[in-house]
Amino acid sequence: MEDTPRKPGFETLAIHAGQEPEAVTGAVVVPIFQTSTFAQEAVGKHKGYEYARTGNPTRTALETCLAALEGGRWGLAFASGMAATDAVAHLLSKGDHVVITDDVYGGTYRLFTKVFARLGIELSVVDMRKPEAAKRAMRPRTKLVWIETPSNPLMKVLDIAALADIAHRGKALAVVDNTFASPYLQQPLKLGADVVLHSTTKYLGGHSDVVGGGLAGNDEELRGRIAFLQNAAGGVPGPFDAWLVLRGAKTLAVRMERHSANAQAIAEWLAENPKVTTVNYPGLATHPQHTLARRQMRAFGGMLSFELRGGEVAAKRMAARTKIFALAESLGGVESLIEIPLAMTHDSVRGTKLAPPAGLVRLSVGIETVDDLIGDLGQAIG
Ligand SMILES: *Cc1c(COP(=O)(O)O)cnc(C)c1O
């Protein structure tokens, strides 16, 4: 017998963290507390809940689970990934500066350049594959270093530990958008990040049936500042949406294993296909940051992109011809999706230096039978 009980593993936390049987009825699954307000026994005497923008038990369960999965002390849930991004950006004041990775999620770039720039927040966009580039971009008023890895849609892999160190030397916060990897594959807080961000719409939800966002971290003072913004601005998820993400998270580990195995097989198959010119997948030994990806990720995930001989025309033709891969935006669900980033998800960066190649095809590889997926891609490439 061991004296100190071992810490629960990831899969156990996904199913149980914040999700003890409910106190009144013993319900094994966290109920959907579909209520906007909570009765008080006397003025100010209550069970921890007053008004559901400030807190709701279903959301609390999700926030506790998110924190556990990222190995953090706190989690906060939002109505969308962008609402979570907006809350972090609101930590800043006029004249503050942000260093952000190029190839960042288009909506994040749009928020900083079209909304926060107007409010006096300055932005430097750098290719963070060389951490020195981020170091050179730091200024006295740099407050955030915004990291996203692997990136969307080019699958660049960034060194989280090195970049967090640069942020901290400049007294800035290191924020990692961990949407593509999910906490099962990569845990940025353990590598030094201060805040981890998720679009829970993607792998955490996992079934393409909910829009949501989340943050996790360790510092309590920072939690207080962000929770204040969450309540003050009100971008919170409803209880049913929180419940859907919580349900999705239970199977995250098994889904990510299959997403990764299927994507690896597809990436290897594409790399052998004479009609394919480039494949971007961190699990390929030919990926420029493959060694780094091995070091900071458990496996390489379900996202990949590639280019075809014949460029944009061939790419659009292929995207219209797949039968199992649905032509759709978004990612991270059990079903496979195909899209052309520049024409679809990345329209907001068209004409900027963040614009991906017009002929780039992005796949969100689902958990269907891999031979069916390869067969579908084969007939679509033709
Ligand atoms: C989708 C996405 C977001 C934005 O999340 P929403 O839930 O759509 O608001 C942010 N970052 C990444 C990497 C994403 O894929």
Shared domain for 238 and 265, answered yes or no, is no
Residues with CB under 6 A from ligand 1: 80-82, 105, 107-108, 148, 152, 177, 179-180, 199, 201-202, 211, 213
Considering the candidates 86, 177, 241, 376, report the single residue annotated as catalytic: 177
- Per the CB < 8 A criterion, the answer to whether 315 and 361 are in contact is yes
Distance CA 342, CA 305 (A): 12
Shared domain for 198 and 320, answered yes or no, is no
Shared domain for 86 and 200, answered yes or no, is yes
Q: Which residues pair with 62 in a beta bridge?
A: none
Shared domain for 96 and 162, answered yes or no, is yes
Shared domain for 245 and 259, answered yes or no, is no
Q: Quick check: is 18 in a domain?
A: yes
Provide the percentage of residues in the chain whose pLDDT is more than 70. 99
Q: Quick check: is 5 in a domain?
A: no
Number of folded domains that form the chain: 2
Shared domain for 260 and 344, answered yes or no, is yes
Q: Quick check: is 1 in a domain?
A: no
Q: Which residues contact 9 (CB under 8 A, 6 or more apart)?
A: none
Shared domain for 138 and 93, answered yes or no, is yes
Residue 45 annotated as catalytic: no
Kindly give the distance from the C-alpha atom of residue 47 to the centroid of ligand 1, in angstroms, as a whole number.
Answer: 34
Shared domain for 145 and 238, answered yes or no, is yes
Burial of residue 213 (CB within 10 Å: 0-12, 13-18, 19+) is buried
Shared domain for 27 and 106, answered yes or no, is yes
Kindly give the distance from the C-alpha atom of residue 197 to the centroid of ligand 1, in angstroms, as a whole number.
Answer: 9
Q: Quick check: is 258 in a domain?
A: yes
Q: Quick check: is 209 in a domain?
A: yes
Distance CA 315, CA 372 (A): 20
Q: Which of 225, 249, 273 is the last residue of a domain?
A: 249
pTM score, whole prediction:
0.96
Query: pLDDT confidence of 1, banded at 50, 70, 90?
Result: low
Q: Which residue has the tokens 């995207």?
A: 319
Q: Which of 221, 249, 277 is the last residue of a domain?
A: 249
Q: Quick check: is 144 in a domain?
A: yes
Distance CA 364, CA 112 (A): 26
Mean predicted confidence (pLDDT) in 284-298: 98
| CA torsion, ordered 258, 260, 263, 269, to nearest 10 deg | -100
164-146-267 Cα angle (round to 5): 95
Residue span of the structural domain in which 210 resides: 10-249
Burial of residue 294 (CB within 10 Å: 0-12, 13-18, 19+) is middle
Q: What is the mean pLDDT of the chain?
A: 96
Shared domain for 229 and 295, answered yes or no, is no
Given a cut of 70, whether residue 351 has pLDDT beyond it is yes
* CATH code of the domain containing 20: 3.40.640.10
Give the tokens for residue 33: 């507390």
Shared domain for 271 and 236, answered yes or no, is no
Which of 80, 179, 185 to mutate for ligand 1's pocket (most ligand atoms within 8 Å of CB)?
179
Q: Which of 232, 249, 266 is the last residue of a domain?
A: 249
> Residue 3 corresponds to which amino acid?
D
pLDDT score recorded for residue 5: 80
Shared domain for 306 and 180, answered yes or no, is no
| Tens digit of each residue's pLDDT (9 = 90 or more) over 42-74 | 998 999 999 999 999 999 999 999 999 999 999
Which of 198, 201, 204 to mutate for ligand 1's pocket (most ligand atoms within 8 Å of CB)?
201
Q: Quick check: is 336 in a domain?
A: yes
Residue 105 annotated as catalytic: yes
pLDDT score recorded for residue 346: 87
* CATH code of the domain containing 321: 3.90.1150.10
Q: Quick check: is 3 in a domain?
A: no
Considering the candidates 49, 105, 203, 281, report the single residue annotated as catalytic: 105
First-to-last C-alpha distance (Å) of the chain: 60
